[in-house]
Structures are given as C-alpha cells and as structure tokens.
C-alpha cells in the first residue's frame, strides 16, 4: 500500500518499558546535590518564600546529611546564616563561624558517604550583602576580596570540606584559591567554579533564605542575562585557572549557556536549579495550575539533557526517592 509513513517514530514511544529502553538521558541520585542553609540558633526556621525548605541548625544538620547520604545523593552544599555581620565578612574566615562549624558537623555525619561542599562567598557574612569587600568609592574591590577568599578557603578546607563552591564571581578567584589551598597542604580539595553566574531575578527567595542585607545589585560582577558567549568565556578562564568543575547558574533560563559550556568543557559541568525556579513550581502546583511531580521531573531532565553532569536542587532528596522507586521523570 502507498501513502503511509515509511518510518513510524511512535513505535519508540509505545509503552513505558519501551520509553525507558530508548531514553537518551537519565538521572541517578548521585547526580543530585542538596543545598542546605545552616543558621545559628536552637530550632530550624521555615523559609517563607521557599515552601518546604528550612534553615537548619547545627543540631538538626546531622539528620539532614544522613538522610541525603542514605538517599544516595552526590553531596550537600552548605550555606551559613550568621547572627553577626560586618563590612569585612570576618565570620567567613573564623574557624568558629557558623559555616565552618557546619562543615565540621556535616563531615562527621557524612563519614565519607557523600561530599561535603561549602559555599565560598562573602555575601552571607557582610553587612552590606555584597560578595566582596567594598572600596572607598562603594564598589566591590576585586583583589582585596581575593585575599579574603584565600583565607576563607583554607578555613573551610581545615574544617573538612571536600569541595569549595566559588560563587563570588571575582576575576581570578579560582587561581587565588587554588594556590592558597596548595600552599596550605590542601591540594586534594576540589574547586567548583560558579563560572556562568548571571545577575538574575530568580535568586529572590535565596536572599530570604540567607537573610541577605544587600542594597543595590550585583550587576558589576555577575553576568548580564543578555550574554551567552560571555558565560562560555568565563568557564574557559576558570578551567584554565584550575577549576575541577564549572557551573552555570541559574539553570532553567540559561540552558543555552549550559549546552555551550558542556560542549567545550574538559571538566564536569554542573547547574544550579535556583530558589526562584523552585518557588515558581511549588507555588503554581499549590494552586493546582500544574502537575507538581511532572514539572519537577521535566525541569531536571531538561537540565540534564542540556549538558549538566550534576544538578544542585532543593528537591534532591525527594527526587532521589522517586528514582529509587523506578519512577520516570517528566
């Protein structure tokens, strides 16, 4: 007979078993990293703009790390929420500061079952909320900030961090931190460079999560959302400076940048599904506007398809459970 399709791609979609068999991309729990906020205080504090997410404490953190390890996650990324902040962000380098104490607690709880990762940036520790120290004219002083990042890196490594997440977007930060770690005998500590980190509106809930004191914006050091090639260029620079992993942040609005970086990079490429992406889905699902589970799965598999080797996501533990149960994402 004539007039019928010679090829029938629908055969490859004919059942769940066939779709699993021919799926081009997949996730496993080890591809997921859970961001965790740790505050000073006795009780965890729910984050109003991130339904289902809370600021943990040093007392509650071990249970979170243990749950993440049992879920098979690749790691936890720790962010500190201090009570006291100053212009220099001095709590970031203090061995008894909240983040360095949290690293020690998490490392003990993890016991090698997953990687303990730490955010290396001053924004949570400065009273002005910027990712670096300020010059006399009020601008962020790149090189003075690098000197603090070096001290911060050594403090985090000595606390037991396996990986440092360089999120400040200062020029030369990877080289500065790598040399400081090597000189201090911490050559085995991994560096994750937030290479293509954009000045994004999708960070809004995160600033609530860390009680940010920022006034103004970070457009002089985070990337312009209009620029794609620049994100790839930043990743190349960071790789040349010694980054072990490079990252694109946010994930969803910058999948084109993620693909560009992944196609060229010789090191693993990660993506951060940020707080605004999380909150949009949770809020829409709470109103019945979208199917929550399908939307979460679809966004994650889309990030993976675009080139991410691992994904930071607030749904990491929940999604790991779905994957263990054999559920298909999307």
The 10 Å Cβ neighbour count of residue 163 is 21
- pLDDT given for residue 1 in this prediction: 57
Class of domain 28-324: alpha beta
Residue 296 known to be catalytic = no
- pLDDT given for residue 2 in this prediction: 65
Nearest Cα neighbor of 75 from 288, 257, 309, 260 is 309
Q: Which residues of the chain have pLDDT under 70?
A: 1-2
Alpha-carbon distance 105 to 128, whole Å? 28
Query: What would the pLDDT profile of 86-137 be if each residue is shown by its tens digit?
Result: 999 999 999 999 999 999 999 999 999 999 999 999 999 999 999 999 999 9
Q: Enumerate the H helices of the chain as residue ranges.
A: 16-22, 61-70, 98-110, 142-159, 173-183, 204-209, 229-241, 255-264, 275-286, 292-306, 316-324
The 10 Å Cβ neighbour count of residue 253 is 15
Cis before 250 (ω within 30) = yes
- 110: alpha, beta or left? (left if phi > 0; alpha if psi -120 to 50): alpha
Q: Which of 150, 178, 249, 260 is catalytic?
A: 249
- pLDDT given for residue 214 in this prediction: 80
Q: State the pTM of this model.
A: 0.95
Tokens at 305, concatenated: 């398809």
Please report, to the nearest 10 degrees, the dihedral formed by the alpha carbons of residues 55, 58, 63, 66 taken in order. Answer: 100
Nearest Cα neighbor of 277 from 293, 258, 255, 299 is 299
- pLDDT given for residue 200 in this prediction: 95
The 10 Å Cβ neighbour count of residue 259 is 18
Alpha-carbon distance 121 to 221, whole Å? 13
Q: Where are the domains of the chain?
A: 28-324
Residue 249 known to be catalytic = yes
| 292 and 13 Cβ atoms separated by less than 8 Å | no
Tokens at 189, concatenated: 């500590």
Q: Which of 197, 218, 260, 304 is catalytic?
A: 197
- pLDDT given for residue 194 in this prediction: 97
Longest CA–CA separation in the chain, Å: 81
Alpha-carbon distance 53 to 303, whole Å? 21
């Amino acid at each position: 007979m004539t007039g019928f399709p010679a090829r029938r791609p629908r055969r490859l979609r004919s059942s769940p078993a066939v779709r699993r068999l021919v799926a081009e991309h997949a996730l496993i729990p080890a591809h997921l990293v859970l961001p965790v906020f740790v505050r000073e205080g006795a009780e965890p504090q729910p984050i109003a703009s991130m339904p289902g997410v809370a600021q943990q404490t040093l007392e509650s953190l071990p249970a979170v790390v243990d749950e993440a390890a049992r879920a098979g996650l690749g790691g936890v990324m720790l962010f500190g929420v201090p009570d006291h902040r100053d212009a220099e962000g001095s709590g970031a380098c203090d061995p008894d500061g909240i983040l360095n104490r949290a690293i020690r607690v998490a490392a003990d709880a993890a016991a090698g079952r997953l990687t303990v990762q730490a955010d290396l940036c001053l924004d949570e520790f400065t009273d002005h909320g910027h990712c670096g120290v300020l010059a006399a004219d009020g601008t962020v002083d790149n090189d003075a900030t690098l000197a603090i990042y070096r001290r911060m890196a050594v403090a985090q490594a000595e606390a037991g961090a396996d990986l440092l997440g360089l999120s400040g977007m200062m020029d030369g930060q990877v080289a500065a931190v790598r040399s400081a770690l090597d000189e201090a005998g911490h050559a085995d500590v991994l560096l994750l460079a937030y290479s293509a980190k954009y000045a994004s509106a999708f960070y809004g809930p995160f600033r609530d999560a860390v009680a940010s004191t920022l006034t103004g914006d970070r457009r002089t050091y985070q990337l312009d959302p209009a620029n794609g090639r620049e994100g790839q260029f930043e990743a190349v620079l960071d790789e040349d400076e010694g980054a072990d992993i490079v990252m694109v942040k946010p994930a969803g609005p910058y999948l084109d940048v993620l693909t560009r970086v992944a196609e060229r990079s010789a090191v693993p490429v990660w993506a951060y599904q940020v707080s605004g992406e999380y909150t949009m889905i949770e809020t829409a699902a709470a109103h019945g506007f979208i199917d929550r589970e399908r939307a979460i799965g679809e966004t994650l598999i889309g990030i993976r398809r675009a080139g991410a080797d691992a994904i930071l996501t607030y749904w990491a533990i929940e999604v790991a459970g779905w994957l263990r149960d054999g559920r298909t994402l999307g």
